[in-house]
Chains A and B, each alone.
Chain A
Amino acid sequence: MAHRVRLFISNFNFMIKKTILVFVILFATYNCIVIFNPGISAPQQQWQDNVVKAEKYIYDKSDTVSNVILGSSLARLMVMDSLPHYYNLAFAGQGILDGLEILNQTEKLPKNIFIETNTVFTEANKSFTDGLFDPLTFSIKKYCISLRSDKQPLAFIYPSLQAAMHKGKNTEESKAPATDQTDDNDLFNKMIKMQIEYYTWTPDSNIVNKQFLALTNYIRILKNRGANIVFFELPFNSKLVELPLARLIRNKFYEHFPAAQNNYITMPDCSNYVTSDGFHLKDDEAKVYTSYFKKESKKYYP
């Protein structure tokens, strides 16, 4: 057998052997850089940001964090600098089921789990959670941190360039805009119109039951494992708050998780929140809501 393997390898020509040798040198060097600078981290975009957040929780934080926020892109906007003892596992473009699945698969649970109730019909992203907990990659990433998503070498180029270009300048001035246009009324009105259409729609009862069944199962398991659950609804544009879909979601939550036996952080008065597109809070609104959330959550778990 060993002879056959040797014969097989001898078929590879010199070019392949040299390539593999250079690769090994590059990879080893990069590993050293990452090992000696474990704090470096650079997610590049939304999807990667979700993976990075999840990996950080799974590998680094799950043993120590006692408060976790689960949700969608809405809760993701909460200002975490004001919530130092909380970990935000809310994923843009995904729903609460993904966060629940991550908690379900990690060994140690946080003491308190805060669950956003605004968006419940986003299907679980199986490829996302399967990717995180794939037995092979999970073990490799656990010990080889250079393979984690926030350590991609090309991701460091833009932040490094930005830092070099803005050296010595006022950081506020040099900040890049998050998007090209923030105050486009025409676009905002179009988005509100689309959201009104969406919130007027009522989903098929099979879909509703399926999602709430999955949610109920997760909550039961987490409660059995000793976690405290708190539900919260983020404020959104007042034109949408009382539309059929918003009311249906609210009522279904109270039906499956009655307020008498479960903890809820009441949604604040929505007339103070315009939002950027109907349901995503603007930066200043997110700050206001985060302070409200901080104050309210202390009522349950000081």
Chain B
Amino acid sequence: MLFNSLVFAELLFITFVLYYQKWLLKYQVLILIIASLVFYAYTNPALLILLLFSAGINVASSYYVAYGNAANRKLIATAGVVFNLTVLAFFKYSPLIAKSLFPETSSVGEFLLTIPLPIGISFYTFEGISLLVDVYKEKKDDDKSLANSSFKEHAGRTLFFISFFPHLVSGPILKAHDFLPQIKAKFLKDINWEQCFKNLILGYFLKMVVADNLKDFTFWIAFPYFQRYTAITLITMLFGYSCQIFADFAGYSLIAIGLAQLFGYNLINNFNFPYISSSIQEFWKRWHISLSSFLMEYLYFPLGGNRKGKVRTYINLMITMFLGGLWHGAAWSYAVWGLVHGSALAIERMFKDKIKLGSYKVVVFFKRILVFCLVTFAWLFFKLPDFSQVIIYLKKIATTISLTFYPALCFNILLYSSPVFLYHLVYLLKKNKKFEASFNKYSYILYAIMLFLIVTNSGSSGSFIYFQF
């Protein structure tokens, strides 16, 4: 079910009305669980089986970690994490394993290729891991527990944590220690309407006006169509795709945050103006924050982080980004994308102390441009999952440099990308208090324009890019 579909609006309305009925106050969590399961099962009810099975294992193992035999806690926690990773590997990476390890005619390979990819699996398995690790760590360090002592209560809270519909299929990836303490009775009077409204308008604007329109112009990046264009058009399309993927995912995250706020829950802010980053390290602190912080907390730090010498730090960065890349999809190009970022992070760290460029405005400006260009070119691995096509695309740019371009296509890409640039620019300008005060005073005009464009200028409805992950 898409956030921008009529059927979702109906589900949301019914859930919202029931949720805040005084006589149903003690069933609030149950109402959200039911709504979430309906949301998830709407297009393919069979997917519920895996979600419920996965949640069931996480409920049982986390409860055992909290209240079971102390001697077995570590073993159960590890088994639970391995289970989550196995589920993810089996359903997500079977096609990659089939293509990489088995010949085309092999029956095992054929079987692996038929395994469907359940929507949202990358997100809810990571949340299962977070639950187990957090419950284990909290129990070990403070002898407290995130898990409720009543198994029934714990099962309900865990299922709610994993399935809460705003974040279920595309994140933000929740951490148990952030979300579980928020579960309590919620009241209509506590809703921050202005914040909800702003998040929802901005989110729907980025998704429906910016990303959905850009997608029809950047479609031509696909092979073999891109071969008919020259360098300027190819580069413009790539920058358009960079804005599209931001608008699509940041839009989704803002909608998710706004929807969760309607029910009294705060989700982690997933994007913090990533395209103003002046280093790749800063980029990863601003882009898909819930994933990067998850990878840092549950992978980079356990690998040793930067505490085991320079070489180990570089290796740890590469491993983290390689696996982070592979998390996005079952194709080697995603891993290469991760390695490109990992290498950039390692190189940056290597030269950080050796080259001092100062913090002059012009230097920061050029660093921002450089980071944006690097990030944008790396998105090519997302758009063209076949590595050879990426090479052809880059070759085509290099060999067709001329002033010829396709003006309508380039103009429209720039037009629909401009809100993304303005969004970042306003953030920078808001550092000036005077500007911020006037902006806040008249921001309602901007929100009204966005609402007007959502109604009159939305693109054709498309799935969110991150659904496939």
Contacts and interface: CB of A to CB of B under 8 A. Distances in A.
Contacts of A162: 407
Contacts of B194: 13, 15-16
A179 B228 contact: yes
Interface stretch (A17-25, A61-69, A199-207): A17-25
A45 B216 contact: yes
A91 to B, nearest CB: 13
Interface in A41-74: 44-48, 51
The winner among A11, A152, A180 for most chain B CB atoms within 10 A is: A180
Given A30-B456, A44-B412, A179-B406, A15 B444 contact: yes
B188 interface: yes
A22 B444 contact: yes
A158 B415 contact: yes
Interface residues of B, number: 44
Contact of A12 (B193, B224, B228, B444): B193
B193 A154 contact: no
A8 B197 CA distance: 14
Given A19-B197, A181-B228, A187-B228, A153 B447 contact: no
B189 A11 contact: yes
Contacts of B179: none
B247 to A, nearest CB: 14
Interface centre among A48, A147, A179 (most CB of B within 10 A): A179
A271 B12 CA distance: 60
B227 interface: yes
A180 B6 CA distance: 40
B443 interface: yes
A8 B20 CA distance: 11
A15 B192 CA distance: 12
Given A127-B461, A181-B228, A147 B456 contact: yes
A57 B456 CA distance: 20
A191 B229 CA distance: 14
B193 A176 contact: no
A131 B228 CA distance: 31
A176 B444 contact: no
Contacts of B404: 177, 180-181
B108 interface: no
A22 B444 CA distance: 8
A17 B364 CA distance: 40
A154 B461 contact: no
Nearest to B411: A158
A214 interface: no
Chain A: interface size category? 35 or more
Contacts of B428: none
A202 B226 CA distance: 27
Nearest to A152: B457
Given A136-B6, A184-B228, A18 B449 contact: no
The listed residue with most B CB atoms (<10 A of its CB), out of A13, A16, A27, is A16
A155 to B, nearest CB: 8
Contacts of A22: 444-445, 448-449
A288 B79 CA distance: 71
Interface string A183-224: 010010011001000000000000000000000000000000
Contacts of B191: 11
B86 interface: no
A180 B406 contact: yes
B216 A47 contact: yes
Contact of A23 (B213, B407, B448, B460): B448
Given A11-B193, A12-B193, A13-B193, A154 B448 contact: no
Best-buried of A46, A147, A181 by chain B (most CB within 10 Å): A181
Interface string A115-150: 000000000000100010010100000000011000
Contact of B457 (A11, A136, A153): A153
B452 A180 contact: no
Interface string A242-259: 000000000000000000
Contacts of B213: 44, 154
A158 B408 contact: yes
A80 interface: no
Contacts of A12: 193, 197
B183 to A, nearest CB: 23
B455 interface: yes
B230 interface: yes
> Which are the 9 A-B pairs with shortest beta-carbon distances?
A22-B448, A180-B230, A18-B444, A23-B448, A26-B452, A152-B457, A19-B444, A19-B447, A45-B216
Given A45-B409, A146-B456, A180-B400, 17 more contacts: A15-B447, A16-B193, A19-B201, A22-B445, A27-B455, A44-B408, A44-B412, A152-B456, A154-B457, A158-B412, A162-B407, A176-B407, A180-B405, A180-B406, A184-B227, A184-B228, A187-B228
12 contacts: A16-B197, A18-B448, A22-B444, A26-B452, A45-B409, A131-B460, A154-B415, A155-B457, A180-B405, A180-B406, A181-B229, A194-B224
Interface of A: 8, 11-13, 15-16, 18-23, 26-27, 30, 44-48, 51, 127, 131, 134, 136, 146-147, 151-155, 157-158, 161-162, 176-181, 184, 187, 190-191, 194
